[in-house]
Amino acid sequence: MALEDGTTWWGEAFGDASPASGEVVFNTAMTGYQEIASDASYNGQLVVLTYPLIGNYGTFERAAESRRPWVEALVVRELNATCREDTVDLDAYLRQYGVPGISGVDTRALVRRLRAKGTLRGALLQVAPGLAQDPGVEQEAIAKARASAPLGARPLVVEASGAGRQVGSGPKIALLDTGVKENQVRCLTRRGATVRVFPATASAREVLSWSPEGIVISNGPGDPAAIPQIAHNVKLLLGAVSQRGTARPVPILGICLGHQLIGRAIGATTSRLPFGHHGANHPVQDLRTGSVVITSQNHEFQVDESSIPSGSDFYVSARNLNDGSVEGLAHRTLPIRTYQYHPEGAPGPRDNEPVFDLFLADVRDAVARRG
């Protein structure tokens, strides 16, 4: 593996034999490697796992957060075979979907470099053992790293977005799938909601014509500024809902990319964090109650607080305690709330599932008021 800064990292290959390239980011969660690998928000990224022992309990249906692993490649210190019966080795799981991996790397050294330099592009090459430490291979990998396309250049969201479907029963929730993590759907249906999943390309009209009683804009990969089409749709949805005013509201929940898209929809700008937030231990303070929660996070971009238009009726509802970045927006009068972190966890704490209770309470409330 090589980084665009010219450093190279040798290790043993696992998973698929194909090469990979893209942005290199690291995740500090100590469990949930399958949830991470199958989180579509990682589409276009090589993920370094800081916890050294990976694969211990295998992979299994229940831990998949989407239909496939999305990481471009997985970088680990040590790959382990599963110790659980009726589970599939991580190695086989990745191979099945054509995802490569590298193990035996001093991942801590790698992470320290990414922390210092900020997110870098990288490339992974697989060569025969005979070629180990070969300078030629290293040069090739470095070149590939430098040539790899920036996040913006690929239709990451469209790639990740799934087909439309409908699950559960209860109040009608329209979920715009910009790369949704399955646990968001589970959290909604488990609380008694009908969830209709719309592909990211669905137009605002399509969504509204189903006359949803609540709308969720999910998480997803990449730079919100790179998907004007979808951002525009979100803006239309937001507009339509805002027009109905407080009398006949349709609550909106924005998660991660969804939060950023809504941010942009109200005229705020978004920008890159030095090396993103990827982990299950980020402290976030609710600015209204002052209480602090531990959150699961996975994003490169943030909504710029200073750029939120004063007339927008939105205010910052939560902030990250580590770097002060915006963790949530809320509308002053309407039930529109957004979260930069992942209230569905998976991987990570379940402490923030009340976000879904709150959302569905808003929905039921709105339904009731409409009679």
Distance CA 50, CA 48 (A): 6
Q: Is the peptide bond before 347 cis (omega within 30 degrees of 0)?
A: yes
**255 touches another protein (CB under 8 A):** no
Reading the block at residue 299, the tokens are 């994003």
Which window, 136-144, 162-170, 171-179, 275-283, contacts another protein (CB under 8 A)? 275-283
Q: What angle do CA 351, 185, 241 make, to 5 degrees?
A: 95
Active site (annotated) includes residue 256: yes
Question: Which CB, 133 or 310, lies closer to another protein?
Answer: 133
Catalytic residue among 35, 72, 256, 277: 256
Q: Assign 3-class secondary structure to 92-124.
A: HHHHHCCCEEEECCCHHHHHHHHHHHCCEEEEE
**78 touches another protein (CB under 8 A):** yes
Active site (annotated) includes residue 277: no
Residue 246 φ/ψ, nearest 5 degrees: -75, -15
Reading the block at residue 297, the tokens are 């996070």
Chosen residue from 26, 93, 198, 339 binding another protein by CB under 8 A: 26
**61 touches another protein (CB under 8 A):** yes
Chosen residue from 12, 51, 88, 96 binding another protein by CB under 8 A: 51
Chosen residue from 12, 19, 60, 287 binding another protein by CB under 8 A: 60
Catalytic residue among 278, 299, 331, 342: 342
Tell me 59's DSSP state: B
Chosen residue from 87, 218, 219, 242 binding another protein by CB under 8 A: 87
The most distant pair of C-alpha atoms in the chain lies apart, rounded to whole Å, by 73
Restricted to residues 147-176, the positions that interact with another protein (CB under 8 A) are none
Question: Which CB, 16 or 91, lies closer to another protein?
Answer: 91
Q: What is the DSSP string of 316-362?
A: EEEEETTT--EEEEEESSSSEEEESSBTT-SSS-STTTHHHHHHHHH
**112 touches another protein (CB under 8 A):** yes
Active site (annotated) includes residue 353: no
**Which residues are within 8 A (CB) of 4 and not within 5 positions of it... i.e. 6 or more apart?**
120, 121, 122, 142, 145, 146, 148
Question: Which CB, 254 or 279, lies closer to another protein?
Answer: 279
Reading the block at residue 78, the tokens are 């040590």
Which window, 111-119, 147-155, 309-317, 355-363, contacts another protein (CB under 8 A)? 111-119
**Least distance between another protein and beta carbon 363 (Å):** 21
Number of residues this chain uses to bind another protein (CB under 8 A): 55
Q: How far is CA 309 from CA 268, 274, 304, in A?
A: 7, 24, 11
Buried b (16+ CB within 10 A) or exposed e, 163-197: eeeeebebbbbbbbbbbbbbbbbbbbbebebbbbb
**69 touches another protein (CB under 8 A):** no
Chosen residue from 95, 154, 186, 272 binding another protein by CB under 8 A: 186
| Catalytic annotation, residues | 256, 342, 344
**Using CB under 8 A as the criterion, which residues of the chain lie in contact with another protein when the complex forms?**
26, 28-32, 35, 50-53, 56-57, 60-63, 77-78, 80-81, 83-87, 106-109, 111-112, 115, 186, 190, 279-283, 285, 290-294, 321-322, 345-351
